[in-house]
């Protein structure tokens, strides 16, 4: 793959309603959009889904820009790439920064698919033509009204972002709204080992899983908790690489893994984790980061792989944004979203709107 130039854009997409977790409240979603151009004029798109602050993982949009501008892009322009899966190997000497790497690798996968005339889903080994979508309910939502709307839209799984100590109240409210609602909770690492007894008492609530109860990077206490708790533990922030996934599964620290392309360093690592988990009988699902249609398209291709058996944090273009960066917009019907079949990520970028929401850009060649 001969790379002619790479453009980085810092964009900001207005959110329909603020997205609230126990760590932060977002009214707009800033992102970095990456465009990689080849000699024939093909454009591949990727996206860095880090947040402006280091609350989810240590990366921020500013650290990602720095790593892209000073290390990853110069390396790509100098070395080129034979195949997108070479990218991770070529950048092994850059420690960490998986979200920066994942954004550029995603653009290379899209470009490669367009050059080859193959869809990303086909290139990755996808087997489904549509994938099931699960809703994320943020703390700012008014539960009753929003659950009614999300149910009407057909979402097949409900993930509640909880605040430690107030989780039972929130789960019970959801159960009162609908006792059959498939609910999981996401703790984003708020609990400590002293909370084990309290966490085990959540077994009575019939949750489909609890996501990342203990701090990012932990495997030991998650293993201890999973030995005591019937509810499956799903790991998110603890899985920053293929190596982490192997540790988690072999140690018995979880029964489910949330694979986010950005958190694990790119699609190549995401597929590796998928394949390993499949071989160990560990189901996976595709996590989301409140991202644009560019990432959504990459997520849909990944989630079409056979071991993505649990509905992911997947949604249509208008779930969070008034207007998305892609056209036609991604649409959920009856709780499912079609996997794009055209070449690359299989969806067009609305270049006019992208220009409109771009705050700053730089081009490297
Ligand atoms: Mg999570």
Looking at the fold, whether 309 and 359 belong to one and the same domain comes out as no
The predicted-structure confidence for 207-257, as pLDDT tens digits, reads as follows: 999 999 999 999 999 999 999 999 999 999 999 999 999 999 999 999 999
Looking at the fold, whether 76 and 222 belong to one and the same domain comes out as no
Q: Which residue has the higher pLDDT, 293 or 21?
A: 293
Per-residue confidence (pLDDT) for residue 22, from 0 to 100: 64
Choosing from 37, 260, 296, 342, which is the catalytic residue? Answer: 260
Q: Which residue has the higher pLDDT, 296 or 1?
A: 296
Q: What is the CATH number of the domain that holds 89?
A: 3.30.390.10
Q: Is the pLDDT of residue 141 over 90?
A: no
Stretch 343-365: mean pLDDT, rounded? 97
Domain of residue 26 covers: 3-117+351-364
Looking at the fold, whether 169 and 205 belong to one and the same domain comes out as yes
Q: Is 323 a catalytic residue?
A: no
How many angstroms separate the alpha carbon of residue 211 from the centre of ligand 1? 6
How many angstroms separate the alpha carbon of residue 332 from the centre of ligand 1? 22
Provide, rounded to the nearest whole percent, the portion of the chain with pLDDT above 70: 98
Mean per-residue pLDDT over the chain, rounded: 94
Per-residue confidence (pLDDT) for residue 25, from 0 to 100: 76
Q: Which residue has the higher pLDDT, 299 or 22?
A: 299
Stretch 60-85: mean pLDDT, rounded? 94
pLDDT band at 138 (very low <50, low <70, confident <90, very high): confident
Looking at the fold, whether 69 and 52 belong to one and the same domain comes out as yes
Per-residue confidence (pLDDT) for residue 21, from 0 to 100: 64
How many angstroms separate the alpha carbon of residue 270 from the centre of ligand 1? 16
**3-state SS string over the chain?**
CCEEEEEEEEEEEEEEEEEECCCCEEEEEEEEEEEEEECCCCEEEEEECCECCCCCCCCEHHHHHHHHHHHHHHHHHHHCCCCCCHHHHHCCCCCCCHHHHHHHHHHHHHHHHHHHCCEHHHHHCCCCCEEEECEEECCCCCHHHHHHHHHHHCCCCEEEECCCCCHHHHHHHHHHHCCCCCEEEECCCCCCHHHHHHHHHHHHHCCCCEECCCCCCCCHHHHHHHHHCCCCEEECCCCCCHHHHHHHHHHCCCCEEEECCCCCCCHHHHHHHHHHHHHCCCCEEECCCCCCHHHHHHHHHHHCCCCCCCCECCCCCCCCECCCCEECCCCEECCEEECCCCCECCCEECHHHHHHHEEEEEEEC
Looking at the fold, whether 128 and 257 belong to one and the same domain comes out as yes
Looking at the fold, whether 293 and 324 belong to one and the same domain comes out as yes
How many angstroms separate the alpha carbon of residue 218 from the centre of ligand 1? 14
Q: Is 16 a catalytic residue?
A: no
Choosing from 10, 37, 114, 161, which is the catalytic residue? Answer: 161
Looking at the fold, whether 70 and 188 belong to one and the same domain comes out as no
Q: What is the CATH number of the domain that holds 210?
A: 3.20.20.120
How many angstroms separate the alpha carbon of residue 313 from the centre of ligand 1? 10
pTM of the complete model: 0.95
How many structural domains does the chain have? 2
Looking at the fold, whether 19 and 156 belong to one and the same domain comes out as no
Looking at the fold, whether 148 and 208 belong to one and the same domain comes out as yes
């Amino acid at each position: 793959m001969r790379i002619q130039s790479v453009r980085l854009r810092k964009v900001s997409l207005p959110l329909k309603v603020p997205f609230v977790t126990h760590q932060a409240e977002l009214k707009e979603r800033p992102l970095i959009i990456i465009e990689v151009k080849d000699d024939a004029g093909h454009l591949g798109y990727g996206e860095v889904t880090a947040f402006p602050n280091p609350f989810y993982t240590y990366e921020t949009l500013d650290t990602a820009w720095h790593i892209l501008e000073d290390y990853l892009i110069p390396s790509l322009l100098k070395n080129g790439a034979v195949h997108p899966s070479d990218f991770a190997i070529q950048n092994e000497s850059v420690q960490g920064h998986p979200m920066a790497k994942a954004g550029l690798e995603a653009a290379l996968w899209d470009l490669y698919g367009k050059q080859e005339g193959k869809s990303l889903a086909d290139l990755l080994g996808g087997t489904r033509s549509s994938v099931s979508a699960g809703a994320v309910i943020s703390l700012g939502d008014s539960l009753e009204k929003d659950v009614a709307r999300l149910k009407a839209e057909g979402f097949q799984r409900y993930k509640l972002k909880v605040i430690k100590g107030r989780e039972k109240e929130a789960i019970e409210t959801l159960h009162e709204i609908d006792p059959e609602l498939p609910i999981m909770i996401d703790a984003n690492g708020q609990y400590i080992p002293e909370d084990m007894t309290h966490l085990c008492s959540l077994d009575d609530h019939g949750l489909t899983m609890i996501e990342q109860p203990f701090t990012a990077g932990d495997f030991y206490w998650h293993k201890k908790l999973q030995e005591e708790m019937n509810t499956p533990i799903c790991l998110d922030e603890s899985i920053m690489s293929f190596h982490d996934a192997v540790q988690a599964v072999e140690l018995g620290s979880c029964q489910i893994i949330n694979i986010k392309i950005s958190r694990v360093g790119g699609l190549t690592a995401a597929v590796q984790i998928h394949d390993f988990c499949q071989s160990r009988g560990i189901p996976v699902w595709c996590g989301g980061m409140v991202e644009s249609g560019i990432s959504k398209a990459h997520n849909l291709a990944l989630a079409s792989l056979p071991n993505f058996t649990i509905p992911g944090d997947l949604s249509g273009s208008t779930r969070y944004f008034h207007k998305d960066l892609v056209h036609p917009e991604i649409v959920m019907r009856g709780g499912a979203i079609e996997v794009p079949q055209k070449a690359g990520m299989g969806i067009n970028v609305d270049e006019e709107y992208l220009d409109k929401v771009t705050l700053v850009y730089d081009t490297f060649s």
